[in-house]
Amino acid sequence: MKLLGATGATLLLASTAAATNNVLTPDKLEAEIKTQELQSVLWNLNHIAHQNGGNRAFGEPGYKASLEFILERAQKRFFPEFDTYVQPFNHTYDKTLEIKVTGPEGEDVFVVSPQYNPPTVPGGVKASLIDTPVDNERGSMCLEEQWAGIDATGKLALIKRGACAVADKLKLAKIHGAIGVILYDQAPGTNIVVPTLEAENIGKLVPVGIIPLDVGTAWKTRVAAGEDVVVGLLVDAISETRETWNIISETKQGDPNKVIMLGAHLDSVQLGAGINDDGSGTAALLEIMTGIRYFSFPHKVRFAWWGAEESGLVGSLYYTSHLSPVEVDKIKYYFNYDMIGSPFPIFEIASDKNSGVGPQLLEEYLVSKGKEVINAEFGTGSDFVGFVELGIPTASLHTGAGEPWDPCYHQACDNLDNIDYDALTVNSKAAARALARLANSLEGVPARATTTPNRRSRRGVAQNFRRWAALAVEASHGHTCSHTGKKTRV
C-alpha cells in the first residue's frame, strides 16, 4: 500500500473536511461551470492536436497527449478527491497514407478516404467505370437485388453514396467482381463527411475513393452515353493492432453501490482536432469534475473518457462488456455527452422507456434558458449503446452532426472556431445540475432493466458485446442527427 506523505495527508484531510461541510446542490454545481474555463480546456485540446499532426485520434500521438492532459488534472491535482485509473485495450489502427483518383483526361480529382479503406495493388488500378442504378429511397447498390444483371468484373463501380453503410456497398461490389469503387457523395460540394468502414470488415471490401457529387454525376452521364470512361484509383494504407485507453475516475466519497456515471469520448477523427466532436463533451466532464470536488453528497460519481469511439464505440463497449454483474448493478445512471457545442445547435435529448428522470432534469434546465428541446429515441451513434444494452437507465445530450448543425463534422475545420459557446455552457450547466440531483437522490430513477435472457451473466454480456460490435458498424459511419439510428450521411 502506498502511504501519503505528511503534506499529502494534510491536504486530503483538509479537502475532505471542506467538502463535508459544503453539501452539493444543483445551484452550487451550476455556479462552478464557467465559459472561460470550458474555453481553456478546448484551447488545450486544440493545441494538443496542433502539436501532434493535426488530430487527437486513436493510435496517434495526439490521443496519448490528450490522455495525459486529462490525467494531469484527474490523477495528479485531484488525487485527494478522486480515484483514477487507465483501462488499456487493443484495437485495429488504420491510416490512409495516400489516396488518389485520376479522371479520364488524366486530371487529379478531389477525393477523401474512409477509415479502414483497403489498399489497392502498388501503383493503384486503372479501369473502365461501370455505372450502377441510383436508388435514393433504399440506397444505391445496398441490396443484392440491385446488382442483378451487373457484371463489374475487372471494373471500377460508380456508385452514389447514401442511405446504407458504405461498407455494405463495397461488400457487394467485391462479390460482383469490381476491383474498386468510385463513390460519389450525395450532397454537393467538397465538405464530405468521412465514414468508417469498420475494422471487422478488413478483407471483405474493395478499395474506394469518395468524390464530389458533380464529378460523379458528370461521369455517370458520359458512361450512360456509351463512352468508355477510364479512371484511376490509388489507395496506400496501413493497418495494425495498437493499444489505446479509457480513463475512469470516480469520487472517493459516496456509496460505491450507488454510482452515477458520466461519459464523453476523448478521441477525434484523423482529419482534425475534434473540438466539438468530442472536445465539447470532454470539457464539460472535466469542468464538472473540477467543481464537484468541493461538495459532499451521498452517491459515488464516476467520470469516463472513452477511447476509440470514432472507430466504432470501441472503448465504451470494451468497458461495458468487461463489467461483472455485480459492477453493472452498482451503476444507477449513465449520462452521455457527445457533441454538445455545435455551431448551429439543436438541443436533443435521447432516451428510452427506462431512462426515468434523467431526460426531464436536462430538459427542465434547457427550457428555462429558452432552448427548444427535441426528444428522441436512442440510436446506435454514441457511447450510450453499451449502457442501454445492459439495461442501465441512460440519457444522452447532443447538438447535431453534419449539415446544418455542424458543417465541420469530421473535418479539419472542427477547431476552436467550430463551437457555439452559449450552447456548450448551457449544456454543461444542465449536465452539472442533473448530476447534482442524482448524486443526492435516486428518486425517479428506475431499476435496471434485466428482461433479456442471460444479460446478467458474464457469458450473456460477452454475447451482447459481440452484438454491440455489429451495432458499432452502423455507429461508426457517423453520429445520429436524431439518435434514431438515421445518420446525417452514410
pLDDT tens digits for 33-54?
999 999 999 999 999 999 999 9
pLDDT at residue 2, rounded to an integer = 37
Conformation bin of residue 246: beta by default, left when phi > 0, alpha when psi is -120 to 50: beta
Phi and psi at residue 459, to the nearest 5°: -65, -40
The mean pLDDT of 191-199, rounded to a whole number, is 87
pLDDT at residue 107, rounded to an integer = 97
The mean pLDDT of 72-78, rounded to a whole number, is 97
Any residues with CB less than 8 A from the CB of 317 and at least 6 apart, and which?
385, 386, 465, 468, 469, 472
With beta carbons less than 8 A apart as the criterion, state whether 259 and 300 touch. yes
Percent of the chain with pLDDT strictly greater than 90: 82
What is the band of 9 on the pLDDT scale with cuts at 50, 70, 90? Answer: very low
The mean pLDDT of 55-69, rounded to a whole number, is 98
Looking up cell 483514477, which residue turns up?
A: 84
Phi and psi at residue 245, to the nearest 5°: -150, 145
C-alpha cell at 282: 470532454
* Beta-strand runs (E) in 144-287: 156-160, 180-184, 208-211, 230-251, 255-265
3-state SS assignment for residue 86: strand
Phi and psi at residue 135, to the nearest 5°: -135, 95
The mean pLDDT of 89-95, rounded to a whole number, is 93
**Active-site hit among 32, 250, 309, 348:** 309
More confident residue, 274 or 18: 274
Percent of the chain with pLDDT strictly greater than 70: 88
pLDDT at residue 123, rounded to an integer = 95
3-state SS assignment for residue 93: strand
More confident residue, 351 or 483: 351
With beta carbons less than 8 A apart as the criterion, state whether 388 and 320 touch. no
Please give the biggest Cα pair distance in the chain: 84
With beta carbons less than 8 A apart as the criterion, state whether 117 and 169 touch. no
pLDDT at residue 469, rounded to an integer = 52
Phi and psi at residue 349, to the nearest 5°: -115, 120
CA dihedral 160, 268, 305, 73 (to 10 degrees): -170
Report the 10 Å Cβ neighbour count for 433. Answer: 22
For the chain, what is the total number of helices (H) and then of strands (E)?
13, 13
pLDDT at residue 465, rounded to an integer = 52
pLDDT at residue 71, rounded to an integer = 98
Among 17-26, 29-38, 60-69, 181-190, where is mean pLDDT lowest? 17-26
Q: 202-237 as b/e, with b when 16 or more CB fall inside 10 Å?
A: eeebbbbbbbbbebbeebbeebeeeeebebbbbbbb
Instruction: Mark whether 137 is an active-site residue.
Output: no
The mean pLDDT of 213-242, rounded to a whole number, is 96
Phi and psi at residue 420, to the nearest 5°: -95, 105
Average pLDDT, the chain: 90
More confident residue, 460 or 294: 294
Q: How far is CA 265 from CA 22, 298, 410, 459, in A?
A: 31, 27, 14, 27
Q: How far is CA 392 from CA 320, 328, 335, 388, in A?
A: 11, 8, 10, 6
Distance (Å, whole) CA 326 – CA 315: 20
Distance (Å, whole) CA 290 – CA 78: 8
With beta carbons less than 8 A apart as the criterion, state whether 291 and 432 touch. yes
3-state SS assignment for residue 323: coil
What is the band of 476 on the pLDDT scale with cuts at 50, 70, 90? Answer: very low
What is the band of 163 on the pLDDT scale with cuts at 50, 70, 90? Answer: confident
User: Which DSSP string do the residues of 45-67 spell out, in sequence order?
Assistant: HHHHHHHTTT--BTTSHHHHHHH
The mean pLDDT of 421-444, rounded to a whole number, is 98
Residue 21 has pLDDT above 90, yes or no: no
pLDDT at residue 466, rounded to an integer = 55
pLDDT at residue 1, rounded to an integer = 34
What is the band of 4 on the pLDDT scale with cuts at 50, 70, 90? Answer: very low
Give the bridge partners for 112, in sequence order. Answer: 210
Residue 355 has pLDDT above 80, yes or no: yes
Give the bridge partners for 95, in sequence order. Answer: 238
How does strand 82-102 pair with strand 230-251? antiparallel
Q: Which amino acid is residue 328, in one-letter code?
A: V
Q: What pLDDT digit, counting tens, does each position of 259-292 carry?
A: 999 999 999 999 999 999 999 999 999 999 999 9
The mean pLDDT of 81-89, rounded to a whole number, is 98
Residue 128 has pLDDT above 80, yes or no: yes
The mean pLDDT of 441-451, rounded to a whole number, is 94
Cis peptide leading into 404, omega within 30 of 0?
yes
Distance (Å, whole) CA 167 – CA 196: 8
